[in-house]
Chains A and B, each alone.
Chain A
Amino acid sequence: MPTRKQSVAGDWAPLSPVIFHILLSLGVGERHGYALKREISQRTGGKLRPGPGMLYGALNRMLELGLIEESDARPDPHLDDERRHYYRITDYGRKVAQAEAARMRELVRLATARFGVPKHA
């Protein structure tokens, strides 16, 4: 898949929630589309459940931007469908995720300074 000339990691901020969650999942290891969807749904308590179009649209965009790449590695073919595509995070993708996390941290710091921390948190 062709990748566009990579910009500075922070240039893509703010990332869409789906893209950031995909990066979070791939930070642990390689995943296929359906595993990504299930993991995102579990992590967000079902609040974010990307459908097939949104999921593969995001993966397509991330491949174009060079945030992720397709992986040739396959688990045991008896355990898995060979038609599935596996994805892994690139070094650039890791940097973009770090930049996004730093942006969020800064936002949380600002919000905490302004509004404090809720008691039930």
Chain B
Amino acid sequence: MPDKPFSLRLYRWLINLYPAGFRENYAQLLEREFRDELGESTGAAGLAALWIRLIGDLAISVPLQFSREVAQDARHTIRLWARRPWQIGFAILALAIGIGTNTGVFSVVNALPGSRTPGLPESGFSATSRQCQAVSRMAPAERVSY
């Protein structure tokens, strides 16, 4: 079981598990609280009991704080979107046009004769998407001979 100075260092490190917003406001208070509890615990058994309680506390409170921060951020984002619907609309439109254009250009280039499937090396076996489609249309017996 860690001794008291080590326990304090360990708890300081564990405080870093909390989200930054919570840590900013409460890191000192959490440490202060831990010091008080540490001062009250006597002997190895007391220290062990304190750490068991603390691990339980961290296991519940860290995810809870994260979920609260995420919910808070989501609320903030939705409020911002509601306040500037045109800007958000343009951003979504720009993304849609970008993704659509990219997909369209890829489909055209990919359909050209001799174009290779991306990701396959130049040398060795490589199949164009047309070849793949042709194979998929074949009966199993034909595929063997192909």
The residues of A with any CB-CB pair to B shorter than 8 Å are: 33-34, 37, 49-57, 60-61, 81, 83-85
Q: Given A51-B57, A60-B22, are A85 and B68 neighbors across the interface (CB < 8 Å)? A: no
Q: Are A57 and B36 in contact (CB under 8 A)?
A: no
Cβ of B95 within 8 Å of any chain A Cβ, yes or no, is: no
Q: Which residue of B lies closest to A35 (CB)?
A: B36
Choose the segment among B26-34, B83-91, B112-120, B126-134 that binds chain A (4+ C-beta atoms closer than 8 Å).
B26-34
Beta-carbon contact of B53 and A53 below 8 Å: no
Q: Which of B32, B37, B62, B68 contacts A53 (CB 8 A)?
A: B62
Which secondary structure dominates chain B's binding surface?
Answer: helix
**11 extra interface residue pairs, beta carbon distance < 8 Å, beyond A34-B36, A51-B54, A85-B29:** A33-B33, A50-B57, A51-B56, A52-B30, A52-B33, A53-B18, A53-B57, A54-B57, A60-B25, A61-B68, A83-B29
**Which of A37, A56, A84 has most chain B Cβ within 10 Å?**
A56
* Interface of chain A: mostly helix, strand, loop or mixed: helix
Contact with A along B60-83 (1 / 0, CB 8 A): 111011001000000000000000
* B58 to chain A: closest residue by CB: A53
Interface pair A56/B30, CB less than 8 Å apart: yes
